[in-house]
Amino acid sequence: MPDPRPDPRHARELGGVLFDMDGTLIDSEKVWEVALNDLMKHLGAEPLPVPARRETVGGSLDSSLRICFREAGRDPDTVPAHEYRETGEWLYDRTGELFAHGVPWRPGARELLGALHAEGIPVALVTNTIRVLVTRALDTLGREHFAAIVPGDEVAAPKPAPDPYLRAAELLGLDPADCVAVEDSPTGARSAERAGCAVLVVPCELDVPAGERRVQRRTLAGMTPADLDGVLREVRART
């Protein structure tokens, strides 16, 4: 098999990098856990059981709301529209309060973003989190690191549909096949894979199954732009 590591004598193949946010760049899954359990209390129910909490990882706000209503003993399909909307707004507000206190970085994420910025490699933020909360997270992440931002409420279908990653590549003016997506969850990895990206998987809360277009790493610590170029080459050598 060809050596997938980048050869300094050859031009870089990597066109751009598409980062998930929660659990990939920042350790916000723990913030979401607090917010969701506060919501369960608001609904008069016990905290989410572990299997239900795992269901929410990488999902959209709508999917998380449905899980919370279900675990509170309510059929999500029968919740009145106004109550569903108001409950969503309550969750937005509570999560925003928690984000306002700052969210810790995942290991190596800040350094990798800085290195990509220094080398002029375009980067997009691709998340199921809604725009209003992404705006708050950018106070930690730094707006200057991203040439494009694709929040979950600005695409027709959120992850695991391919729409968010297709849109991110379009905004960068790139073919998804020339991009590496960095993800921590099964939901996000499926989304990026379906869009045609190479996927660097760095699990946070959940194990992520292997796949032909996926390369697994334990951490972003020590990761460089050249390593991401190597991820793309490795996936291309397989497919």
Average pLDDT, the chain: 91
Q: What is the C-alpha to C-alpha distance for residues 135 and 133, in angstroms, rounded to an integer?
A: 5
Predicted model pTM = 0.81
pLDDT digits (tens, 9 = 90+) for 64-117: 899 999 999 999 999 999 999 999 889 888 888 888 777 889 999 999 999 999
The b-or-e profile of 73-108 (16+ CB within 10 A means b, else e) is: ebeeeebeeeebeebbeebeebbbebbeeebebbeb
Q: What is the C-alpha to C-alpha distance for residues 15 and 228, in angstroms, rounded to an integer?
A: 10
Q: Is the pLDDT of residue 2 over 80?
A: no
Question: Which residue in this structure is represented by tokens 């870089």?
Answer: 12
Q: Which pLDDT score is estimated for 6?
A: 46
pLDDT digits (tens, 9 = 90+) for 134-181: 998 898 899 999 999 999 999 999 999 999 999 999 999 999 999 999
